[in-house]
Amino acid sequence: MTSKRFVIIDGNELSFEEGETILQAARRAEIEIPTLCHDDRLTPAGACRICLVEVEGANLMQPACATRVSPNMVVRPPTPRVTRNRQFTLSLHLADTIQDRALAEDSNPSRLHDLAERYGTAGQWVPVDSPRPGRPSDDNPYIQFRPDRCIACSLCTRYCDQIEAVSAITLAFKGAKTTISTADERSLTETTCELCGGCIDVCPTGAMTEKAALAWGKPEMDLEKVRTTCNFCGVGCQVDLNVDRAANRVVKVTSPPPGTTVNDGNLCVKGRFANDFIHHPDRLQDPLVRNEAGELVATSWDEALDRVSKALLSVADEHGNDALAFISSSRCTGEENYLMQKLARAGFQTHNVHQCAAT
Ligand code: SF4
Ligand code: SF4
Ligand code: FES
């Protein structure tokens, strides 16, 4: 007789796929189990112990993120023991980082504080003595590691290994001294690090943070996110510009959450950090046209577009439509490239249209 392939979670009988974890089966059924060190893109580490659940027949509670379901397994609804353990663990993690939420969120939001607020704690405890060494001589221009905020969840090192595939950072030392380090404690720029900033993005406590945004001094929650398409290459990653409205300035760039856009929560060094150009004084603010003396002068968009359309029409009238050619760029969006070919083909009936990604 074959056993039925189902699991019972919180009283719900659920089918499951081979290899699924309790967390995956629960989430498919919209059963909430809180997590801190889990990321769907990474292999589970079972490091934070926030997701512990009670499984019938097991003496010890099991991490939902790392325990595979098996036929006829019964995962109990949240019991007082599970709730007590979660609150205890949250207090323990908070004692190992910055307990004051406002201070903890001086730059990045803290998922740890979010969880503590949502699920409660076992009270504020005396700070844990965890002398994690930092890398004060790491002079890379972008990423700051603040060891007093690290809870050794290993999200950053797993991201660096498994998503970025460069293994520039690693867990180092033991016990309370466990920290995030590099080979010979070198600066990130002397390692295989690609400065993608993904370690900042996954860090749940703000231990990994962005130097320039930290220096700007406004927490991320006080910035307004404006979704746009990165224009550094043709991939079309979606980015969130984090704008300080009062100063009219883009302070930093973050990725939309994993699973929501084409870049799945990832960015490259340019997309994440190369945003100084937005406020560079040399940047053109207005279109330029030539005056009668041949000098470039600023004008309005209406005037500039009028000049362009007249010039295009006069070439077409005098030499025919195929005397015109339209060149676009892979740095433009798909929509902009579509409009360029539409202008060529529908507007001027010519197929003389090209774009650098086409070769
Ligand atoms: S910036 Fe990217 S490559 Fe460098 S340590 Fe962080 S995750 Fe690894
Ligand atoms: S730096 Fe952040 S992501 Fe990395 S182990 Fe520490 S708390 Fe976790
Ligand atoms: S989320 Fe499962 S142990 Fe951290």
Which atom of ligand 3 approaches the CA of 45 most closely? 3
Number of Cβ atoms within 10 Å of the Cβ of 271? 22
pLDDT per residue of the chain (359 residues) written in tens, 0 to 9: 444 578 899 899 999 988 999 999 999 999 999 999 999 999 999 999 999 999 999 999 999 999 999 999 999 988 999 999 999 999 999 999 999 999 999 999 999 999 999 999 999 999 998 899 999 999 999 999 999 999 999 999 999 999 999 999 999 999 999 999 999 999 999 999 999 999 999 999 999 999 999 999 999 999 999 999 999 998 999 999 999 999 999 999 999 999 999 999 999 999 999 999 999 999 999 999 999 999 999 999 999 999 999 999 999 999 999 999 999 998 899 899 999 999 999 999 999 999 887 76
Q: DSSP assignment of 41-109, as one string?
A: TS-----S-TTEE-BTT-SS-EETTT-B--TT-EEPPPPHHHHHHHHHHHHHHHHTS--SHHHHTSSS-
**Residue carrying structure tokens 């699991």:** 7
Cα 313 to averaged position of ligand 3 atoms, centre (Å): 64
pTM: 0.93
Number of Cβ atoms within 10 Å of the Cβ of 122? 15
What CA–CA distance (Å, rounded) separates 304 from 297? 11
Beta strands in 168-284 (DSSP E): 170-172, 179-181, 208-210, 224-229, 238-244, 249-254
pLDDT of res. 1: 44
Residues paired with residue 137 on neighbouring β-strands, in sequence order:
none
Number of Cβ atoms within 10 Å of the Cβ of 6? 16
What CA–CA distance (Å, rounded) separates 177 from 113? 23
**Residue carrying structure tokens 């590691």:** 145
CATH architecture of 6-78: Roll (3.10)
What CA–CA distance (Å, rounded) separates 282 from 297? 15
Which atom of ligand 2 approaches the CA of 199 most closely? 3
Cα 203 to averaged position of ligand 2 atoms, centre (Å): 5
Q: Angle of helix 80-95 relative to helix 111-119, nearest 10 degrees? A: 140
User: Could you give the residue range(s) of every CATH 3.10.20.740 domain in the chain?
Assistant: 6-78
- Helix, strand or coil, per DSSP, at residue 243: strand
Residues in CB range of 13: below 8 A, 6 or more apart:
6, 7
Burial 11-33 (b: 16+ CB within 10 A, else e): eeebebeeebbbbbbbbeeebeb
pLDDT of res. 2: 44
Residues within a 6 A CB radius of ligand 1: 143, 159-160, 164, 166, 168-169, 188, 193-199
CATH 2.20.25.90 applies to domain 223-283: yes
pLDDT of res. 359: 65
Q: Are residues 252 and 350 in contact, defined by beta-carbon separation less than 8 angstroms?
A: no
pLDDT of res. 5: 78
Beta strands in 112-192 (DSSP E): 143-145, 170-172, 179-181
Cβ of 169 closer than 6 Å to ligand 3, yes or no, is no
Mutate to test the pocket of ligand 2, among 153, 163, 169, 210 (most ligand atoms within 8 A of CB): 153
Residue nearest atom 7 of ligand 2, based on CA coordinates: 150
User: Could you give the residue range(s) of every CATH 2.20.25.90 domain in the chain?
Assistant: 223-283
Provide the 8-state DSSP code for 3: P
Provide the 8-state DSSP code for 21: B
Residue nearest atom 6 of ligand 2, based on CA coordinates: 150
Which atom of ligand 3 approaches the CA of 37 most closely? 4
What CA–CA distance (Å, rounded) separates 210 from 195? 11
Parallel, antiparallel, or unpaired for β 208-210 and 179-181?
Answer: unpaired
What CA–CA distance (Å, rounded) separates 251 from 342? 36
pLDDT of res. 314: 98
pLDDT of res. 133: 94
Q: Are residues 352 and 322 in contact, defined by beta-carbon separation less than 8 angstroms?
A: yes
Cα 66 to averaged position of ligand 3 atoms, centre (Å): 7
pLDDT of res. 356: 84
CA terminus-to-terminus distance, the chain: 61
What CA–CA distance (Å, rounded) separates 350 from 344? 6
Q: Are residues 202 and 150 in contact, defined by beta-carbon separation less than 8 angstroms?
A: no
